[in-house]
Structure 1
Amino acid sequence: MDELEFRRRVYANPDTTDRDVVEAAKSDPAKQAFWQELKAQDSALLDVMRVPVPEDMAHKLIWQQSANEFVRHRKRSRWYIAMAASVAFAVGISFTLFNRAEVSLGNEALVHMQYASAEQSHSGLPVDLTQVNAKLAGFGASLTDMLGNVKVANYCHLSNVRSLHLIIETDQGLMSVFVVPQRDDVLLPEAFSNDTYHGEAVKMQRANILVVGDKDADLHPVMQEVKRKIQFSA
């Protein structure tokens, strides 16, 4: 297995157990080291994105179990049953709204931008079209041509979804392009911003595309270029 095919396979799935990939790594120490580094980076990103369990979660679970038991046996008055239902409804609405806010891709991308300036290419080599397409292959996508001067092409996690982060050098400074697999449980706002950055998002055939830049940057040309050059497999 040549170097490009090996990298494409492990980029697409660092935890692959395919025999030909394993054999290629065993026969080439450089491939083995690269694979181990990629798996370590993937594991580290997952650790960072893990959300700790709220301290009061045990109390909520105990409360829910008691409420269910209470309803089943109907040992108390209908007033208490109505009160329990009202509380459960209020808690359910609050929990749902909290979760939906947490998984907004726009918010996740803005938070990620705080660390974008420190990112460097993991390969240590200039980023070219072949390297970008090797990583896009895991998303069923490829570029027909390079997106300007791509400085960094790394995997990241947005809303616990493994995504691709491209950092592009433009006339307006560095901009980020995120390629995120589509999921039904995340929000995709058309536009989002904070005090430092703003972004735009579009839903494409098999992935969501987010472009983020400085507060006053014009994102439209980069977004149009991405939409024109990216293509998805059937």
Structure 2
Amino acid sequence: MDELEFRRRLFADPNDKDVIAQADTDSAKQRLVKEMQDFDATLHSALDISVPDDLAQKILAKQQADTDASSKQSAEVKQLAWYRRFKAPLATAASALLAVSLYFATSVHAPLQAGEHALQHVYYEAESLALTDEVQLQEVNEKLAMFGGKLEAMPGKVTYATFCNFKGQRSLHLVFQSDHGPVTVFIVPTDSNDAASTQQRFADERFSGSIKPGERADTILVANLDTPLEQYQTAVNDSLRWL
């Protein structure tokens, strides 16, 4: 298979036996295969959220308790207005819904906006900001080619380049060094279920961020508060080419 077919099949299935065999004699391809397999395993682990076996029983028990309490209260009332006759079943349904909602609210994190997620991601991988060894542009483009793109240049020395899980979407995570400190770049393919097109700027007490929506991918930059993000955002997007 040719290079494009190799990358297409690797992206679709990192455990494809033909793809693995194709990489046997090429160390660069072997490295890509290993990274994609590791990322695929991480992504599946992150999305594997188990539901307790006794969830249904807890909801039914809560429903029965509310029904019994409502029945007891109703028996003590001599006369009911017509609209109050529906109170017990409505309360039961509301309680069951509340039980389910409370469970999932405490078991699954609420979805984050793209900017919030970018900040959280940067804090989670804060060690990447301290790296100083250069990652060659060729290695960056080997990874970016998995999305059908390449970078002609970067506005600073790249010191970090890896695949990442950006809100469940397989993306590219880069860090380059600028005169204002390290700048994190996320290149997120636009087939993501939660596009970043509704948010342009974001910030917290330490970092500011910028989102540039694109037809093939959104580029998200995060840097120190005094960094001229517009300048670097333009440089990255002007250098980005799609194959």
TM-score (norm 1): 0.69
In 2, the alpha carbon distance for the partners of 1:141 and 1:35 equals 16
Say if 1:199 and 1:213, in contact at 8 Å, map to a contact too. yes
User: Counterpart in 1 of 2:153?
Assistant: 146
Change in CA separation of 1:155 and 1:191 when aligned onto 2, cut-off 3 Å: same
Partner of 1:72: none
Percent of aligned pairs with the same amino acid = 22
Per-residue CA deviation, residues 33-82 of structure 1 (Å, 9 max, x unaligned), is 53564245325643774575587x95378528987xxxxxxxx9522233
Q: How much has 1:208 moved relative to structure 2?
A: 1.8
What pairs up with 1:84-233 in 2 under 5 angstroms? 84-87=92-95, 101-119=110-128, 126-128=135-137, 130-143=138-151, 145-148=152-155, 149-182=157-190, 183-185=192-194, 189-233=199-243
Q: Distance in 1 between matches of 2:169 and 2:226?
A: 28
| Residue type at the aligned position of 1:203 | P
Q: Of the two, which has the highest radius of gyration?
A: 2
Q: CA deviation at 1:29?
A: 7.6
- Within 1, Cα distance between the matches of 2:210 and 2:56? 37
* Cα distance, 1:176 vs structure 2: 0.7
Q: Is the 8 A contact 2:9 2:16 kept in 1?
A: no
1:107 Cα deviation (Å)? Answer: 1.8
Select the residue among 50, 59, 71 that pairs with 1:63. Answer: 59
TM-score (norm 2): 0.67
Contact between 2:10 and 2:33, CA under 8 Å: does it hold in 1?
no
What letter corresponds to residue 164 of structure 1 in structure 2? L
d(CA) in 1 for partners of 2:175, 2:169: 18
List per-residue Cα deviations over 1:79-113 (Å, max 9, x = no partner): 223324545676788869x9784332222211221
Query: Aligned pair in 2 of structure 1 residues 32, 228: CA closer, same or farther (>3 Å)?
Result: closer
Consecutive unaligned residues in structure 1, runs of 5 or more: 68-75
Structure 2: give runs of 5+ residues left out of the alignment: 64-73, 75-84
Gap change, CA 1:18 and 1:37, over 3 Å in 2: closer
Following the alignment from structure 1 to structure 2, what is the Cα–Cα distance between the partners of residues 34 and 201?
30
Does the 8 Å CA contact 2:134/2:159 hold for their aligned counterparts?
no
Shift, 1:205, TM fit: 0.3
Q: Does 1:46 align with 2:43?
A: yes
SS in 1 for 2:23: helix
**Number of aligned positions between the proteins:** 217
Amino acid at match of 1:208: D
Structure 1 vs Structure 2 CA RMSD: 4.2
- Alignment partner, residue 23 of structure 2: 25
2: distance between equivalents of 1:210 and 1:65?
47
Choose between structure 1 and 2 for higher RCO, CA contacts under 8 A separated by at least 6 residues. Answer: 1
Change (3 A) 1:147 1:59: same
